[in-house]
């Protein structure tokens, strides 16, 4: 099944947060495998095809699948943080900012 990707946020991070949605708003995991994650990175313009192919050859499927798993965890962590921020925008988010800086 081909999963259509959504790029409406005008920024890769916002589009990354929407990688679990289908165009009609249904919950659909679009980063279900390492190859799907690489495909999304290419579609988002963050990686070109030749580098994606090179990376896939170099690290293999298990490593790519693990990277996709970590990407989904980061996405869900970010979504939860943004949900908390919407309710309490003035709360102290130093811990979250430290985690985000570490990720970057």
Is the predicted pLDDT of residue 22 greater than 80, yes or no? no
Is the predicted pLDDT of residue 53 greater than 80, yes or no? yes
Distance CA 75, CA 15 (A): 10
Distance CA 64, CA 104 (A): 19
Distance CA 60, CA 30 (A): 19
Distance CA 37, CA 88 (A): 32
Distance CA 82, CA 95 (A): 14
Asked if 20 contacts 5 with a C-beta cutoff of 8 angstroms, the reply is: no
Is the predicted pLDDT of residue 1 greater than 80, yes or no? no
Model confidence pLDDT, tens digit, residues 63-78? 999 999 999 999 999 9
Q: What pTM was estimated for this model as a whole?
A: 0.85
Is the predicted pLDDT of residue 47 greater than 90, yes or no? yes
The predicted model gives 85-100 an average pLDDT of 94
């Amino acid at each position: 099944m081909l999963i259509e990707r959504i790029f409406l946020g005008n920024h890769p991070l916002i589009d990354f947060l929407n990688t679990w949605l289908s165009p009609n708003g249904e919950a659909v995991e679009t980063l279900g495998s390492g190859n799907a994650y690489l495909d999304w990175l290419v579609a988002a313009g963050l990686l070109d095809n030749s580098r994606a192919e090179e990376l896939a050859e170099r690290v293999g499927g298990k490593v790519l699948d693990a990277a996709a798993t970590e990407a989904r965890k980061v996405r869900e962590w970010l979504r939860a943080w943004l949900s908390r921020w919407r309710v309490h925008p003035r709360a102290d988010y130093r811990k979250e900012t430290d985690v985000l800086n570490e990720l970057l």
